[in-house]
Amino acid sequence: MRKKYKKWVLYSVVGFFLLIAILFWIFIVGIKASETGKFFNQQKNAVWIAHEWVDTVKTDTEVKALVADLKAHDVNTIFVHVGPLSEIGDIAPEVYSEAFNFVDMVKAVDPDMRILAWVGQIRNKINLSSVQVRHNILQMCTIFTGVVGMDGVQYDIEPVWDEDEDFILLLEETHELFESMDRRPILSVALAEFIPRTFVWLSSGFLNLQNYNTEVNYRNVSKYADQVVTMVYDTGIERGWMYRWLVKEQVIWLTDLMDEVECDKCVGMKPELYIGIPSYEDVKKGFNPEIENVGNALIGVLNGLNDVRAVHENLTGIAVYAHWTTDDNEWDIYDALWKN
């Protein structure tokens, strides 16, 4: 009897450690292929560009150089900063006075280059529960897409949470507006990195998570958005391997989550998905450019796409933040990892 008990204990211990080893292999090491960036790159990448392109007179030569540079890196979507929303939800015309000329010049060079108005604000500075504020925002969307001629609007309102029903209402109303237009604009939403709701609950006693979205908000946003851009930076991580692991898991989780989305309210059956990566060098609290950078981020993306748990077809591309901070060396790293 005692021998049987000892065997049972031994088998239990061995089984436990075997389970731990399997979980470690799946979630940390990963069961993966070894495809390069060229295999996954669909030539549908994006970049955020500076406000100067819509408030400063630019020459044809400058715009042609910008478009040529972006095309060389397989970028076909531009998020151009058109100015933060005011507290009442509008933007003064002088803030984007050259927007029409910019769009006209870009389209003359490359009609297929998509230009989205990057519209942002700090969440606690704008009252989205106000009908008038939301109405003003929709008016701005009409101006940027219907008058200026941009291909869509990207909302970058941070932070938004699972319970932010007013933000979702804004998306629903924007979707309805865009549906009524002859030329259907793109509704893009920039979101903080994804953290599973279960993990948030389990870690609530010892981790102070600041800015994130769970599957609840991603699903709610995906009901109305044509494009979801996950900003995987400003994480506060101080180890390169940990940041690469986080990016990898973002790719796995989100491509799998998007596979579950059936969106009959957006342009396609499911939103385009972009992983936003950092190319800036600001040394600030919660961000270390030695850790969070183009190289580490793209290694994480490729590790994620090669993982058996990922649905790699659901990743549309990479979004680089930002064009004005990306130097030639960073573009070389990007090209080496993502284009080759």
**pLDDT tens-place string over residues 238-278:** 999 999 999 999 999 999 999 888 655 555 568 999 999 99
DSSP state of 337: I
Task: Give the mean pLDDT of the chain.
Answer: 91
Q: What is the mean pLDDT of residues 211-224?
A: 94
Q: Are 116 and 103 in contact (CB under 8 A)?
A: no
Query: Quick one: which of 156, 139, 155, 49 has its CA closest to 103?
Result: 49
14 pLDDT band, cuts 50/70/90, is low
pTM of the model: 0.90
Instruction: Give dist(CA 292, CA 47) in Å, integer.
Output: 17
Question: Could you tell me which residue, 3 or 33, shows the higher pLDDT?
Answer: 33
Q: 229 pairs with which residues across the strands?
A: 190, 274
Q: What is the pLDDT of residue 149?
A: 98
Confidence of residue 21 (pLDDT cuts 50, 70, 90): very low
pLDDT band at residue 211 using 50, 70 and 90 as cut-offs:
confident
CA dihedral (255, 169, 263, 270) positive or negative: negative
User: What is the pLDDT averaged over residues 159-188?
Assistant: 97
Domain 35-339 class?
Answer: alpha beta
Is the pLDDT at 207 greater than 80? The verdict is no
In the block, which residue shows the tokens 């309102």?
A: 157
- Residue 199 confidence class, pLDDT cut points 50, 70, 90: confident
Q: What is the mean pLDDT of residues 206-220?
A: 87
Residue-level pLDDT at 262: 63
Please say if the pLDDT value at position 184 is more than 50: yes
Among 57, 78, 111, which Cα is nearest to 227's? 78
Under the banding of pLDDT at 50, 70 and 90, the label for residue 284 is confident
Range with the poorest average pLDDT among 16-20, 134-138, 174-178: 16-20
pLDDT per position as a tens digit, 64-77:
999 999 999 999 99
CATH 3.20.20.80 domain span(s) along the chain: 35-339
* Per-residue pLDDT reduced to its tens digit, 288-303: 999 999 999 999 999 9
In this model, does residue 332 exceed pLDDT 60?
A: yes
For residues 254 and 276, what is the distance between their CA atoms, to the nearest angstrom? 13
Residue 24 is predicted with a pLDDT of 55
